[in-house]
Structure formats: structure tokens, C-alpha cells
Amino acid sequence: MFDPRIQGHQAIRAKLLERLQAGKLPGTLLFTGPEGIGKRRVALEMAQRELCFRRTACGDCEGCQLFHSDPLPIELPNLLRIAPEGKAGLIKVGMIREDDLVEGGVINWASLSPALGCHRWILIEDAHRLNGASANILLKTLEEPPPGTRFLLVTHRPEAVLQTIRSRAQRIAFAPLAPKEAWAVASSKGWHEGSKQRWMALSEGTLRYLEEDAFQRAQAQLEAWMLLMEGGSFPSASEPLLPEKDAEKAQNEQLREALEVLLRLVTDVARVRSGKEPALTPWADRLRKLAVRPLDLRAPQDLIHDALRNLARNPSGEPLLREVALSLV
């Protein structure tokens, strides 16, 4: 009854299926947990099972293949997918109420009767990107969804989802994948054994580095932060940390990634100091050398947490990164 191509989260998936079959699935579910661990895939699996020719989410039939197509269409026979768009990456009112997405917008789509044996699933990806107006328009429908309609909201930043939406949804908290589950996905996407240790250490049970570019960037950032901690100069070491202006990803999101890499590095150095094995094992030798340097780790940790909290207000990355780098030596 489960798609063998989806890794992990077995207990949650079993529970969801059980409640679905018992007719006890609430109108709105909020899937939370770290970025890139397959929350969206689990949400899709529920709709996939209904269109599967075997009704099992076999993963192979033509019905299932619809759900594995890349790119995934905005609309499938029993599912409508809402995702942030544009440079600002927001879910705007037009998608919810008007007709630029599907005729009549989400609310109308939700009110059409489902096909026999199906629900009408509405998947809202990155639900923290719903802007205030969209969220407010959605609220009433979330409260009393039309019969047969189910909302699946997915987010790695639940604290940024409007409180009134959160309170109407039942929260399902996902944990990271086991490292071997994450690697199973990676190797099915063509990753080779040679990268396995570094990929697993950096990915920490997520699939955020499935793309070669993303992995290389994270690795270069880790390298850059280590150089800076070893006393390297900011202008020569910082290049991989600076946000790219033309990238598809917003600059403060890029900055967040660079800072998160540093947070893990600093945490790992602290771990080594307390006599434990580092989590970033492939870099263990360098971490051990960093651990014996006379450095107060609390200052950079506080600074990083502060910066991560205030990223939305940070217009430019370089001064911030420079400040953080200074706290490392």
C-alpha cells in the first residue's frame, strides 16, 4: 500500500493511510519538519494511491507515474498544487481566489465534486509563503472544506505560518530520514559511492543536496568557513559564502544556507571539544585541529542565531558575513 520509490517516514505514512481508510482524516493537515526530507512526497502519495491502477501507490503504473513526473504538473485529476512563485516567492491571492491558475482559483476547484473513489487534494507547498491576504481568504475554506476536499500544507518553517491557519490544521511532525534512507534516494539519482561519506555527513538525513550544484556549494561553504576559522582572510576565503545576485533563490535564503553550514561547523567543533566524535566525519582531522584553538564558540553561535532570526530584514549579505567571520578568530 506504499510507494516503494518513497523512502522513510513509514510510521507516519501507515497512520495517515489508516485514518484515511477509516474516514478520519481531518480537513487540513500541516506537515512540518526539516527542509528536503520528503514531506511533499508523502503528501502526494495519498493522492497517488487513488489514481493508482492497483490502488496501492505501486509506483509503476501510469496513474502513479503522473505523480513522479518532473516537473510535476500544477493540476492532476485529483490534486491541485499551490507553490510560491516569482522572485519574492510568495503565494498570492490570485492563486487562491481568481482565475490565473485554474479557472476560478483554488476555492472553486475545491468545491467541485471529486471523482468516484477520489478526494480533491489541495497541496500547498512552502505554506509559510502564503501572504497575509491569501491566508485570510483561505481560512474559511480550511475551516469547513467542501465534502471530499482535503488540504495538505507543507512547510519547514511552521512558525512563519499564520497562527489562525495553524490552529485550524492538524500538525504532523516529520523527522529527518535515516542516513541510509537518504543515501538510497541519492544513489537512485546517480550519486556514486565515492561521495557517499561526504554526502551523508552534509545532508544529515535530508535530500537538500540531491542536486550536484547544491552539494558542491555546501561543501565549498564548509571549506570556506573552516579556512576563516583557521585565520584565512575574508576577501580570499569568502567567495562561496556570498549570495549570487542572479540566482533563482532569494539572497537571504542563500545567506541562510551559508549560515546554517557554519552553525553546524561550530556545533561540531563544540562536540569535539566535549570529547565526542564529530558529525562531519570526513572533515574530522581539521575539526580536531580547530577544536584546540583558543576560540570562544559562544560569540559566533549567538551571532549566527541572531542573524538567522533577522534575515528578512537584512538587505545585504557581505557586511553580515564579514561580522560573523570576525567572530570566528
* Helices (H), ranges, 189-316: 196-203, 212-229, 234-237, 251-273, 284-291, 298-309
Using CB atoms, what's the residue nearest to Zn ion?
Answer: 52
Per the listing, cell 546554517 goes with: 260
Euclidean distance between the first and the last CA atom of the chain, given in angstroms as a whole number: 54
- The DSSP call for residue 173 is E
Q: CB–CB of 284/278 below 8 Å?
A: yes
52 vs 96, beta carbon nearer Zn ion: 52
How far from 120 is each of 47, 106, 138, 147, CA to CA, in Å?
Answer: 8, 11, 16, 9
In the complex, the smallest distance separating the C-beta of residue 48 from Zn ion, rounded to whole angstroms, is: 7
52 vs 172, beta carbon nearer Zn ion: 52
45 vs 257, beta carbon nearer Zn ion: 45
149-155/28-32 β-pairing: parallel
Per the listing, cell 532570526 goes with: 309
2 vs 234, beta carbon nearer Zn ion: 2
CA 279 to chain centre: 21
67 vs 174, beta carbon nearer Zn ion: 67
56 vs 131, beta carbon nearer Zn ion: 56
In the complex, the smallest distance separating the C-beta of residue 49 from Zn ion, rounded to whole angstroms, is: 8
In the complex, the smallest distance separating the C-beta of residue 55 from Zn ion, rounded to whole angstroms, is: 8
In the complex, the smallest distance separating the C-beta of residue 53 from Zn ion, rounded to whole angstroms, is: 5
How far from 159 is each of 32, 77, 183, 184, 301, CA to CA, in Å?
Answer: 10, 32, 29, 31, 21
Q: Is 12 exposed, middle or buried (0-12, 13-18, 19+ CB in 10 A)?
A: middle
Distance CA 118, CA 148 (A): 8
C-alpha triplet 247, 159, 12: angle, nearest 5°: 95
3-class SS of residue 327: coil
In the complex, the smallest distance separating the C-beta of residue 27 from Zn ion, rounded to whole angstroms, is: 26
79 vs 303, beta carbon nearer Zn ion: 79
In the complex, the smallest distance separating the C-beta of residue 71 from Zn ion, rounded to whole angstroms, is: 20
Contact residues: Zn ion, CB under 5 A: 52, 58, 61, 64
Q: Can you say whether the dihedral through the CA atoms of 28, 312, 216, 284 is positive or negative?
A: negative
4 vs 147, beta carbon nearer Zn ion: 4
In the complex, the smallest distance separating the C-beta of residue 1 from Zn ion, rounded to whole angstroms, is: 11
In the complex, the smallest distance separating the C-beta of residue 307 from Zn ion, rounded to whole angstroms, is: 46
Helix (H) or strand (E) run with residue 28 in it: strand 28-32
